């Protein structure tokens, strides 16, 4: 076999489509096997414009005149399949005249892959956005259950080490006659009102740097001095307690349901930690919690009760009244005090 014959064989069998065009009328002079297989030219499609009616022949001529080369992406519909080719045209001058060598690469699969990657990345991006949104919701929920610094620890290490906070002030609030109220009135109304009140308490507490720890039914517990130490934790909690009462008084004036509470305030050390493995609860433990609860029991409706330790730390901003010695279950007998709103009657 001669070299020429081998060359022609190669040219015919090569995996790119090759055609030779007459530069004058763009008629085909040669098409290799791959070209024929791809474009399947019919008898009457003997020129490039006839084979590819959408092809911009004018642009081809102009560009070839200017630079002897032209590249374009050509799409061709074979049966129902869109085929896309990268077409490369080169002008050559031979003795017989000017010819254009057309070399086509089938880039359909590349374009299909690109479309698929676009489609897939859009799905993934949408999913990522959804996951992010869900994560934010979970984070929000967890931040409602524990202080941010505790949450950060939990997120990083998967566990929370119990931590001693000393000193802090604990405010314990309980509603008078809640059980009867929940039983007599429409329970859903009662709970929805309780929700409003707790939300208001949260906002008030936040203003004074208190961290709500939990609510158990009609009991509400908030703390100052945790997770970051606060020098005036007693004052923060007393201020919060006074505003809780003010809020309830004002609310009661315009509502048929009367909400009346008792408050106890105590200072001391507490340990804060996440409790539980399946159901996480951030909680605090310690004598200050128990004492606040006992002192709250000493209050009458709409009263705030505390002991000497807290009283010493409160300034003249508060009106404080001694209530004498009391037996406190689980603690030494001690003098208790009532904290009153110094702005009483001003509102």
Binding site for other proteins (CB under 8 A): 79-82, 84, 108-109, 111-113, 115-116, 118-120, 123-124, 126-127
Least spacing, CB of residue 55 vs other proteins, in Å: 18
Task: Please say which residue, 43 or 54, places its beta carbon nearer to other proteins.
Answer: 54
For residue 270, the SS3 value is strand
Least spacing, CB of residue 138 vs other proteins, in Å: 16
Task: Please say which residue, 123 or 275, places its beta carbon nearer to other proteins.
Answer: 123
Task: Compute CA distances 232 → 88, 100, 235, 341, 346, whole Å.
Answer: 81, 90, 5, 18, 25
Task: Please say which residue, 119 or 192, places its beta carbon nearer to other proteins.
Answer: 119
Q: Secondary structure of 261-310 in the HEC alphabet? A: EEEEEEEEEEEEEEECCCCCEEEEECHHHHHHHHHHHHCCCCEEEEEHHH
Task: Please say which residue, 86 or 182, places its beta carbon nearer to other proteins.
Answer: 86
Instruction: Give the span between the Cα atoms of 79 and 59, in whole angstroms.
Output: 27
Task: Please say which residue, 81 or 279, places its beta carbon nearer to other proteins.
Answer: 81
Least spacing, CB of residue 105 vs other proteins, in Å: 17
Task: Please say which residue, 14 or 84, places its beta carbon nearer to other proteins.
Answer: 84
Least spacing, CB of residue 92 vs other proteins, in Å: 33
Least spacing, CB of residue 278 vs other proteins, in Å: 14
Element spanning 333, H or E: none
Instruction: Give the span between the Cα atoms of 12 and 21, in whole angstroms.
Output: 16
Q: Which two tokens mark 53? A: 């009616």
Instruction: Find, among 140, 195, 160, 166, the residue nearest to 283 by Cα.
Output: 160
Instruction: Give the span between the Cα atoms of 21 and 31, in whole angstroms.
Output: 9
Q: Which two tokens mark 236? A: 């923060």
Least spacing, CB of residue 84 vs other proteins, in Å: 8
Number of neighbours of residue 201 by Cβ within 10 angstroms = 23
């Amino acid at each position: 076999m001669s070299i020429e014959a081998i060359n022609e064989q190669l040219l015919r069998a090569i995996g790119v489509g090759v055609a030779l065009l007459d530069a004058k009328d763009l008629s085909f002079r040669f098409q290799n096997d791959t070209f024929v297989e791809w474009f399947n030219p019919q008898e009457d499609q003997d020129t490039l414009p006839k084979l590819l009616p959408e092809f911009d022949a004018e642009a081809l001529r102009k560009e070839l005149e200017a630079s002897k080369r032209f590249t374009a992406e050509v799409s061709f519909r074979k049966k129902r399949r869109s085929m896309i080719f990268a077409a490369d045209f080169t002008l050559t001058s031979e003795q017989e005249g000017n010819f254009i060598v057309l070399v086509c690469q089938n880039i359909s699969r590349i374009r299909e892959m690109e479309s698929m990657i676009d489609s897939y990345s859009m799905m993934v991006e949408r999913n990522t956005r959804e996951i992010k949104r869900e994560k934010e919701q979970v984070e929000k929920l967890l931040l409602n259950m524990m202080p941010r610094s505790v949450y950060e620890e939990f997120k990083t290490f998967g566990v929370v080490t119990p931590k001693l906070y000393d000193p802090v002030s604990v405010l314990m609030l309980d509603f008078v006659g809640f059980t009867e109220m929940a039983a007599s009135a429409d329970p859903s109304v009662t709970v929805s009102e309780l929700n409003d009140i707790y939300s208001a308490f949260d906002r008030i507490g936040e203003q004074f740097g208190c961290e709500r720890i939990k609510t158990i039914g009609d009991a509400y517990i908030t703390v100052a001095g945790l997770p970051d130490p606060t020098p005036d934790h007693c004052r923060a909690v007393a201020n919060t307690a006074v505003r809780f009462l003010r809020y309830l008084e004002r609310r009661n004036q315009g509502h048929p349901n009367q909400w009346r509470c008792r408050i106890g305030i105590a200072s001391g050390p507490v340990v804060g930690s996440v409790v539980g493995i399946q159901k996480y609860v951030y909680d605090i433990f310690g004598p200050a919690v128990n004492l606040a609860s006992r002192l709250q029991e000493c209050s009458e409706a709409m009263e705030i009760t505390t002991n000497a330790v807290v009283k010493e730390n409160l300034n003249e901003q508060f009106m404080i009244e001694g209530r004498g010695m009391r037996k406190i279950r689980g603690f030494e007998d001690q003098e208790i005090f009532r904290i009153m709103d110094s702005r009483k009657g001003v509102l």
